[in-house]
Structure 1
């Protein structure tokens, strides 16, 4: 990526202390593509260690308190909105749609090059789909030494559902995704998002154009590449850096409203996360957060504090201290 493929920082929607840059990407099958890199501006000299956060499906970075927590612990905090997500959504392109998860490697690599130029250490944090994407990316970058630690917040490592959904339907989607990639094959439930958003009784305010309660359509081509990513994890990855996997301690129903929507993982199956975590590499730590939501950073206060304390404490033990 050339210098003119990265715009100068401008104020971000998160307000004071936050800026954003546009990363111009190579045109893909759907035309011009871009991603956006959000930065919490340091209040003093920039730390020599950085965090790069990657969001999940029907998501974007809005969790400013996460950036604040890392910054107060001595990290320079950045977050990517992947192509066609959040700040990177463009009217001419379908939101949240791709037929190859490896496409996201371009913007992750671009962000990593920018951060590595000014930082001695780099931690990558992935949530949900972002946990799957960053795991596959880190595995593909073996030997490059580009990431010092990988932190996965409720990573999507397998498909929640019945045997029929996970086996025969997956085989059908693999065919449909090849020949009819834009065919709509499902959608996300709205209940978890409704429990989060302040407009429907939740704690969090975020842009419903970028993270709608009803989500975006689940299309065959997208689900095909996700299931192929799951299959790669099942065969075993070899991520070289230390990996921390965190999840809630329980799963709740994902198809109806219930009182534990934000105190259980009501999107993924935590038993699947626990089973797949050791397959990511030779150095994996798994931690459950009691009372955690699917996005552990959006859990009720006590659980999200436990989540952030677990992440920062683990990093303290696994990465050597760096001076600012």
Structure 2
């Protein structure tokens, strides 16, 4: 871990690949680096050894030829998945991640964590990151790997760029937030109330409860992963009315149907269950979203959609136990080999 970022040689502001000033990532340390994207932060994995005072090879791995992956996190989340970076790099991909505005490395003092009033505000961050990666990795196909709310946001972004060639070459959605996991009345009458209240009281708290899913994932609690609990909070992040209004508007677009032009893989756990410490299957189910709803909404994303159900997976399939996590990554990499 590096407490004081060390600058990586680069140029000043501009539009070339060198316009970003890179620093050793202050959360993961070397060989991860971070760069300021305005309201967002771009992270890259650079496993190659650099000469003293020099740059690493362009992608950090001379064998990288298949493509570049950009990871987009979800709500109450940020990029800490060093194992995911290694898995994609070992499979021949340059790896990047973006911490969206008001989240993770991009959260500034005085900001409300994860709060936006339109998901296309965060889609602007996805767009900025995608453009930066394309400049840094010219000629390589771009794969966007997006989780939960990041999957919803990235779907809107890909749809918006369906005709201009600036979207992804392939979109991988890991447990995407395509619909609200709630009773029918909350998805109808409740949505109408959120639409009204979210307009006049956007910062009002709609709900706030602990995330037993995040609690159980933390290594200090017997889980598998280490992460910053101020950026991925076991106590949860309040769902505010303005944010929920934005999410429900995005869900309505998904229900009407999107037209993503490139291949989409929608992956999800085989089962859902309650986010409750009394649930004996807390570590083998999606306890945040309804996987039946994900499967139902997925075909409406575009013309080439593949579904992948992962037995024993959790909400973020990349954080599952070894068996389901391997099955997920094998499924993703096999699909990419076919589609790219």
Inter-partner Cα distance in structure 1 for 2:109 and 2:90: 37
Inter-partner Cα distance in structure 1 for 2:296 and 2:134: 33
**Structure 1, unaligned runs of 5 or more:** 25-33, 320-324
Query: Are the aligned partners of 1:194 and 1:201 in contact in 2 as well (CA < 8 Å)?
Result: no
Inter-partner Cα distance in structure 2 for 1:112 and 1:258: 39
Q: Please tell me whether residue 228 in structure 1 is matched to residue 249 in structure 2.
A: yes
Moved over 4 A (4+): 4-7
Query: Are the aligned partners of 1:42 and 1:76 in contact in 2 as well (CA < 8 Å)?
Result: no
Q: Please tell me whether residue 134 in structure 1 is matched to residue 154 in structure 2.
A: yes
1:171 aligns to what SS in structure 2? Answer: helix
- Spell out the pairing of 1:1-324 with structure 2 (5 A cutoff): 3=14, 7-12=20-25, 13-24=27-38, 34-43=39-48, 46=59, 47-48=64-65, 49-117=67-135, 118-120=137-139, 121-146=141-166, 147-319=168-340
Query: Are the aligned partners of 1:251 and 1:266 in contact in 2 as well (CA < 8 Å)?
Result: yes
CA deviations 1:222-266 (Å, max 9, x no partner) are 000000000100000000000000000000112453221121101
Inter-partner Cα distance in structure 2 for 1:164 and 1:214: 27
2:247 aligns to what SS in structure 1? Answer: helix
Length-normalised TM-score, structure 1:
0.92
**Structure 2, unaligned runs of 5 or more:** 1-12, 49-56
Query: Are the aligned partners of 1:156 and 1:273 in contact in 2 as well (CA < 8 Å)?
Result: yes
- In structure 2, relative to structure 1, the CA distance for the partners of 1:6 and 1:89 (3 Å cut) is farther
Inter-partner Cα distance in structure 1 for 2:305 and 2:182: 25
Q: Which moved more, 1:158-167 or 1:45-54?
A: 45-54
Inter-partner Cα distance in structure 1 for 2:228 and 2:111: 18
Inter-partner Cα distance in structure 2 for 1:37 and 1:161: 33
Query: Are the aligned partners of 2:170 and 2:264 in contact in 1 as well (CA < 8 Å)?
Result: yes
Inter-partner Cα distance in structure 1 for 2:275 and 2:267: 19
Superposition RMSD on alpha carbons, in Å?
Answer: 1.5
CA deviations 1:114-147 (Å, max 9, x no partner) are 1112332100011000010000110011112221
Query: Are the aligned partners of 1:263 and 1:299 in contact in 2 as well (CA < 8 Å)?
Result: yes
Length-normalised TM-score, structure 2:
0.88
C-alpha displacement at 1:188, in angstroms? 4.3
Inter-partner Cα distance in structure 2 for 1:283 and 1:94: 37
Query: Are the aligned partners of 1:9 and 1:20 in contact in 2 as well (CA < 8 Å)?
Result: yes
Query: Are the aligned partners of 1:251 and 1:265 in contact in 2 as well (CA < 8 Å)?
Result: yes
Task: Name which structure has the greater RCO, CA cutoff 8 Å, separation 6+.
Answer: 1
Query: Are the aligned partners of 2:123 and 2:156 in contact in 1 as well (CA < 8 Å)?
Result: no
